[in-house]
A and B are shown apart, each in its own frame.
Chain A
C-alpha cells in the first residue's frame, strides 16, 4: 500500500476483478496463491485462461495450483524463483523488455517521471545475473518477458507473497515500475492489483484504521487535514504518526503503551514471534478484547466484550476492489452479545462522560447513532472518497466502488485513468536486498508461511467449522519429497521445526509444491502455529514482518 501510494498516489487495487478477469490479455501473478487465498477470483483467472486464452505467468517459489494454468500449452509460463529474489526477477524482466524496445514510450513520456534514473539501475541486473540469483532459467526469463510485454493489457496481481518481506515496499514499487514501463496503467484489464487478505481489510484502511491517516487516507501530519477533523469532531488532535500494530505490542514491554483495546484480532496467532508477543501482552497493564470467541489473546485480556458475527449485524464491507457492499443482519445477536459498533459507542460515550478531555460541540462530535447508516452518513461527510456512499444507494442496488465523489457519482471501477492520483507516476530506482534471515549451517532450511484453502488466518472461525476441519483438521508442513527422504519422513510423520525463536511439532505432508530445501507451514492452529517460528524483521517503511523467509532446522520426532 505504501509502495503504491509512493508510485501512484493511491494504495489500493487500481482495477476491478471483473475487468481484470474479462479484459486482460495476460496476467502476472506473483506472490499470490490466488486459488487458495482468493478462491473465487482465482477461479475467474482460470476461466480466463481456459475460456478466452488469456496468458498467465505465475512466479512463486511454491508450485501453487495456479501454476498448472501457467503452462506453455496455454501460452503461459510458471517461474519458480528463489524466495526473496522478487526484485531481481522483476529487474531482470524489465531489462529484457527495455533491451527489446518493448516499453511503452508514449506512456513513459506522457504520464511518468523519474524514468531516466530508474532505467539506469536496470542495468545492474542483466538477464544472466538475474537468472543466477533467482534460479530461473535464462530462457524462461526471456519467454516470460515476451509474454508480459507483448500481451496488452497485462494485469499484475499479488498478495502477501510480495509484501511480507523486509523489502515488501520495494517489491511493490518494482511492480509499479513494471506496469508503468509497459503502459498498463489506467486501462481495463491492466493495473496493479494487490489482493487484500481479509474481507474488510480494505475498509479498515479506508476508515482510518491506520496510524498515519484519517479516513480516506488523509494524512495525520497534514495541518489542513488535522484542522478539518478537529472541526468535525470538536477536539484537538495530535500531528504525529501513531504506532503500527507491529510496533504497538512490543511497546508494551517498556511501558510506552500501557493499555490496548483490541477489536476482533488475535495477535498471539497472527503476529510474528509468538513467545515475544505473549511476553509483551503480559506486560500490558490493561487489555480490552472484543471478540466472538475466546482466543489465544484472551488469556491476556482483562476484559472480554462479546461482539457478534457478520450474520448478526448490518453495515458495509469494502472488498479488495474498493467495492462497498452491504452486510445484512440475518439473525438476532446470540445471548447477551451486542453488535460491535454499539459496544464501541458505549465505551466512547462513557469515556466522554468522565469529562477529562476538552470537547467542543461540533458537527460530528457526538456518538448518537441509531444504526450504522447514521455512521455511514458521518463517514461520507468527512471522507471524500466515500462522499457519495450511503446505505440507501446500496440498498437500491447501486454498485459502488470508491472514490464515489458525491451522491450522483457512479463510483470508479478503474483508478488512474488519464492521470495518476498523484499526477505523474513515479518511477523509483530499486535495488535488491537479501532477506533478513537466510538459511545457514545451523538452520539450513527455508521456512515460508501462509494460509491454506480450508482455513482462515488465526483459525478462530474455520477451526470451528465442522466440514473444514473434516478436510484439514490439523496443521501440516509441506515438505519436498527429496527432503522427506533425507529426514526419513513420510506423509503424517511428525517433524520438529525449530527456528531461533521457537519450535513446533507438526505433521509432514510430502509434496513437490515446495522445492527442496524449503518447507511451508501455516498459522491456523495454536499449538503448531508457524508464528512461533517467525521473526519480527519489518519492512522499514510499511512495518510488515518478513513472514515468507525464516531459517529453520527440521528433524523427525
Chain B
C-alpha cells in the first residue's frame, strides 16, 4: 500500500534462520517466540513484525499471541539482557504458605540487582509452596528470608513419592521412584510397553471396548468416559486424526501430571500410543505448560529413546502401526487447559476457547478429528490393556473405575500426593492419608477439586467424593484438596482464587473477563472489611451469570468456589461489610 509510513526494512537474518528451522510453519509461531525470547531475554515489536512477515501472518496476530502468554514479554525497544529471570508463584497455595511476591522479589534483587523478577499465576509446584522458577529450574519451598539458599541451588529437588502411604492403591504411581525416569531399559524392566503390545495384538474395536469396560473416566476434572470419547474419534470419517495429551496442568492445587511425568514418562507415551492405535491416529502432541521445562525435556528424552527402540515412530514393534509424538510447550496460560483453547494454542494462536459444537472428536487440531485426554488418563491406559478392564474397574467400589491421584495440601501433617480408589470422604483423606490436621489446627474449610472447586465446611467431611458428588456440594475435580484451619479466612481465600481467575481469564467473553475482575474487586473490599451492603448479592449474581452465560468451562466453573463459600460461610462474608 502506498503510504509512506510503511518503511522498507529487511528482516533480521537471525529471525529468518529461526523461522526456517521451524519449517516456516505458522503453527510453530509460539515456539519461535519462546525461542526468540530465550535468545534475547525479551521480545520487541520489530522482532514480532519480522516473524509476522516471514510467516505471512498479520503483525496484530503475532502481537496478540506474544501478549497473551504470560511467559512472553514484549518491550518497546530491545533491553539489556537480564542475567536471569526468577518467576515467583502468586497462587493461592503459595499465598497460604506465606509466599509473597514482593518480599521474595526484594530479596532476590538485593542479591542480584541484574535479575528480573516476575509474578506468575501458578507454577504447578503446590507441593513445594511457596515456589519459584529460577530460569528453568523449579524450586521450593522458598521464603524471603531463605532466598539465598534457593539462589545457591538448594531446595531444587522434587519431593520423593516412592513410598506409598497406608491404604494407597497404586497403578499409575506403581513404579514411582522404582524406575529411572530417564531410562527406557529401566522402564522396560517393569513392563513398559507391554500394554501397547497387548493392544497391537487386538483389533481397534477390542481396544476401545476394553477401555470402555474399564469405566475409565477422563482425569482432567470433568470425568467424561474415556472409552466413549475414543469411540467418537474412531468413528469420525475424516483423516488424519490426532491424539493430544493435555499436560497443561495450570490450575492452582494441581500438580499430579508433573509427578507422573517425572516418575514414569514412558507410561504416558504408551497410553497415547494405545489410544492412537485405537482411534486411527498416527501423530500425537503433548501440550505441556511452559513452566514445566524439565518435564518437557524428560518427555523429549523418553520419546527419543522410545523411537530409537521402536516403541514409537514407524512400524511400532514390527506392526504396521506408526505413531509420532511431538512435544508442544505452552507459554503460560491457564486457559490452555481447556481443550479447545489448547487446540488453538497448539495451532499457534491465542489460547481462546472455540465454539462447541463441533467438539474435538470430530473437529479438533487443524479442524480434524482429535482425541484429547489428560496425562493421568493416558497413564492408566497401559495398565488396563495389560491387566484387563475388569481388574481396573474393580479397583474402586464406585461407578468410576480404577484409581485416582489425590493431591492433599494445607494444614495437614502429611501433605502431598497419593493414589487411591474413588469414593473417599474428606475425613478419610485428611485422617487416613494425611496424618490428620496439624497440631493446634482446627478444621475450618477445605477447597475441594482444584481452584475451581468447592469450598466446604465440616458438614461435608463424611460425604464420599467422586465425579457425581459435586451435586451434593463437594467436588472431586482433578483430585486436589486444600485444607485450611481456623486462622484462614474463606473470604481471603476466595479473593486469592478470584485473583487467579481474573488474571488468567482469556478475555474473550464478557461474563468471565469482566465478571472475575469485578468479583475480585468486591472480594478485596470484603476481605478488608470495606464491603458495601448489596455486595454479597452482587457477588452471588455475578457467580450465577458467569455460570450460566460464560463462553467456556473456565468462566462457568468460577461460580463453584463462590457459591459454595457464600453458602457455608455467609457470616464471615457478611462480616466484611462496613457497618
Contacts and interface: CB of A to CB of B under 8 A. Distances in A.
Touch between chains A and B, by CB atoms below 8 Å: yes
B1 A65 contact: yes
Contacts of A73: 56
Interface in A53-71: 65, 68, 71
Q: Binding site of A, secondary structure by majority: helix, strand, loop or mixed?
A: mixed
Contact of B4 (A65, A71, A481, A491): A491
Nearest to B1: A65
Contacts of A511: 6, 8
A364 B7 CA distance: 59
A510 B8 contact: yes
Contact of A453 (B1, B7, B10, B56): B1
Contacts of A478: 2
B2 A472 contact: yes
Contacts of B4: 472, 476, 491-492, 509
B3 interface: yes
Contacts of A472: 2-4
Interface residues of B, number: 9
Contacts of B2: 36, 452-454, 472, 476, 478, 509
B1 A68 contact: no
A330 interface: no
A478 B2 CA distance: 9
Nearest to A510: B8
A346 interface: no
B3 A471 contact: yes
A512 interface: yes
A144 to B, nearest CB: 19
Nearest to B55: A73
Contacts of A510: 7-8
Contacts of A509: 2, 4
A23 B10 CA distance: 38
Interface in B1-21: 1-4, 6-8, 10
Interface in A429-477: 452-454, 471-472, 476
Contacts of B7: 491, 510
B50 to A, nearest CB: 15
Centre residue among A36, A491, A492, A512 by max chain B CB count within 10 A: A491
A492 B4 CA distance: 9
The contact size tier of chain A is: 20 to 34
Contacts of A452: 2
A512 B2 CA distance: 12
A71 B8 CA distance: 20
Interface string A478-495: 100100000000011000
Centre residue among A35, A68, A73, A492 by max chain B CB count within 10 A: A73
A511 B10 CA distance: 10
B8 to A, nearest CB: 5
B152 to A, nearest CB: 51
Contacts of B1: 35-36, 65, 453
Contact of B8 (A65, A68, A481): A481
Interface in A34-87: 35-36, 65, 68, 71, 73
A512 B8 contact: yes
A471 B1 CA distance: 11
Centre residue among B2, B4, B10, B56 by max chain A CB count within 10 A: B2
A65 B6 CA distance: 13
Interface of B: 1-4, 6-8, 10, 56
A-B residue pairs, 9 tightest by C-beta = A452-B2, A510-B8, A511-B8, A509-B4, A481-B8, A65-B1, A471-B3, A453-B2, A476-B4
Given A471-B3, A472-B3, 10 more contacts: A35-B1, A65-B1, A71-B56, A454-B3, A472-B4, A476-B2, A491-B4, A492-B4, A511-B8, A512-B8
13 contacts: A36-B1, A68-B56, A73-B56, A453-B1, A454-B2, A472-B2, A476-B4, A481-B8, A491-B8, A509-B4, A510-B7, A511-B6, A511-B8
